[in-house]
Structure 1
């Protein structure tokens, strides 16, 4: 389905030469109107504030924010219809890759706005789109981490683990103390992804998906270690792991139901809503037994792209320059509890202190699921794995589904 849609968009745009209707950009008061389409509903208010600031500084430009439900489906439909917004903000995953291949976005490979962006993140966008050129500017990034209850760690005399064996030993000690090491929420299938992503990213090998594309490897080979380690983590969960959803987990962890929570940093604001006084921290998953070897799985949560059909490239570029100004990035990452993809801009929230060093030196790698087509159903297959614990069947199914999608 996804590949078919991508091909449909490619052919439609190739035939039209991307000369679509787009936003006419005319308003009755003589202002230039541009559309900013972005996919993060939780960031709408933050962007409303930034847009208001931009319009005050640029009184002849009107920015209209679009943030529809099921935004990626809406955007793909608009690409196919050649009705593109002027500026787009989406995640750096396979959906971005599909759209980038159609020529919908401007090439920013040599743009001055890219020179201060962490190279690790621009590489991720090239890799996921399978393009040599860059079709988006990484803006904010998120990360998978082990979120831990500092108070509970102190009470149990635990230190932050540096290796896989130490990690499992910490889980054992928590269990021996009669407490729950990890809280899982597999009623929402996607919540299996954070921990699995880290296991896979740090064990699959650097070129796994390139080799998979060429038929030179399989999930059965490349993801066996990740699957085994993921199943090991499940031994330290709680009863009814498949009956709890993401929101349940945020509240439960906030109230002390477990020592650790295997989620992304995006969960922290929700946890703090449930318990503003919780003393929590984060640390990188230690996947191997070599201290400091494991990379933090950190991907482009939001990229900014100027569309190639905009009738107002000067105004669209001005808006991009505004959003990428240091003070405005700081406003965004503070509100969204994210990290900046731009060098030198630090997330000041002490709760994510444990990840700063890894991100600052670029010891990061992308989310493996960004390279897996939706039709493969990775999160659904993981949900099944959490129930039947059958690693061999799980890996075999992934290989079968990958081949089906590839052959479409």
Structure 2
């Protein structure tokens, strides 16, 4: 009988190599989590700390930088791709997905736990119907209002555009400021713009515009007229104040309403914890049953398809999608969850609940505009000059210019 010692020795050597390799792997998994939301850094830090306690073999380094999209594009050009990314669900995300940078999540079992509407919003941003990211959170454009000030004048939440303007007139006639507008920061103009455009542009505008079957001049006349109308009811020098100043001014009671997203709620409450704050959907149309709340994917989670540690990266995403962690995030950030059966229960946004329950949700139109158009700056220029026809013609010419590149 041949001796088994040589075979055993070989097997032991193999086990030692494999075992040492496993230990080495466990000690060396370092993942970069690149995410674009400054206000979420601390919340993600706490979730990362929890994840690392549960998974001591994996270290996550969060990386947030100003102008994250520009930085990410620069890194992609150098093939320096983060392992895990938390990005806005917008045109840039769609472009990167089309470039083949992200992992394909079509076979991920946890996709079934994501609300279908938000998956579809992301799919509409790129070619085909695959899933190159996982919707994590959603936000919403709203009109924030001071409940106590409304009560003083006996005002109800307006349900139609005409009621909205009548409410603003009533406030003005009683010596108040209806809206605090922060149009010094061009991006803040997109809050009312998106609410109006989503409800007024008509069906399939983006698809038809891409096919050159329609134009901004044909479909955006009312959008332009109504956003310009808001200037009549803002404070003096609406182009002299930015987002942070607006948060503080509204918290101090300097206006009855503040057209902003749900992301502004926490800064306002930090400035004035005693403010009696509410939120409603901007009523862009005169049929209340037709009005939709603009809500889109605030953060989409994705992974580089070439990461050295795909299993560890996916483990982090699955961790974030657990109900208790998804709930923690939206409670901290005052956003909404894309995960099924995870609800935002803060009383400030109770009046938005009906839109989510009834499915009266529309995506952010600007998420589908080519990023090179610089739409916020174009709208800002229009609001200075007030020429609707010239403005709409400019939108079309800029669209055509970017699409022809």
Shared topology, TM-score over 0.5? yes
* Matching of residues 134-213 of structure 1 within 5 Å: 134-213=131-210
- Residues 89 and 299 in structure 2, CA contact (< 8 A), matched pair in contact too: yes
Q: 1:257 aligns with which of 246, 254, 257?
A: 254
Identify the residue that residue 215 of structure 1 maps to in structure 2: 212
Residue 81 (structure 2) pairs with residue 84 (structure 1):
yes
2-structure distance, mates of 1:93, 1:339: 17
Would you say how many aligned residue pairs link Structure 1 and Structure 2? 384
2-structure distance, mates of 1:362, 1:50: 30
Q: 2:289 aligns with which of 263, 268, 292?
A: 292
Identify the residue that residue 350 of structure 1 maps to in structure 2: 347
Pick the structure with more helix per residue. 2
* Matching of residues 2-401 of structure 1 within 5 Å: 30-401=27-398
Bigger radius of gyration, 1 or 2?
A: 2
2-structure distance, mates of 1:323, 1:301: 15
2-structure distance, mates of 1:33, 1:375: 35
1-structure distance, mates of 2:182, 2:276: 21
1:29 Cα deviation (Å)?
A: 7.4
- SS of 1:320's partner is helix
1-structure distance, mates of 2:46, 2:96: 28
Deviations 1:113-135 (A, max 9, x none): 11121111111101122432111
1:324 Cα deviation (Å)?
A: 0.3
1:232 Cα deviation (Å)?
A: 1.8
- Residues 292 and 360 in structure 2, CA contact (< 8 A), matched pair in contact too: yes
1:69 Cα deviation (Å)?
A: 2.9
Q: Which runs of 5+ in 1 are unaligned?
A: 1-25
2-structure distance, mates of 1:90, 1:105: 12
1:195 Cα deviation (Å)?
A: 0.3
Q: CA RMSD in A?
A: 1.7
- Residues 138 and 296 in structure 2, CA contact (< 8 A), matched pair in contact too: yes
Task: Identify the range of structure 1 (54-63 vs 27-36) with the bigger mean alpha-carbon deviation.
Answer: 27-36
- SS of 1:244's partner is coil
- SS of 2:328's partner is helix
TM-score (norm 2): 0.91
- Residues 27 and 33 in structure 1, CA contact (< 8 A), matched pair in contact too: no
TM-score (norm 1): 0.91
2-structure distance, mates of 1:72, 1:315: 24
- Residues 189 and 379 in structure 2, CA contact (< 8 A), matched pair in contact too: yes
Deviations 1:344-401 (A, max 9, x none): 1111221111112212333211111111123212101111122112111111111111
1-structure distance, mates of 2:305, 2:125: 20
Q: Which runs of 5+ in 2 are unaligned?
A: 1-22
Task: Identify the range of structure 1 (122-131 vs 320-329) with the bigger mean alpha-carbon deviation.
Answer: 122-131
2-structure distance, mates of 1:68, 1:253: 28
1-structure distance, mates of 2:326, 2:140: 17
1:261 Cα deviation (Å)?
A: 0.7
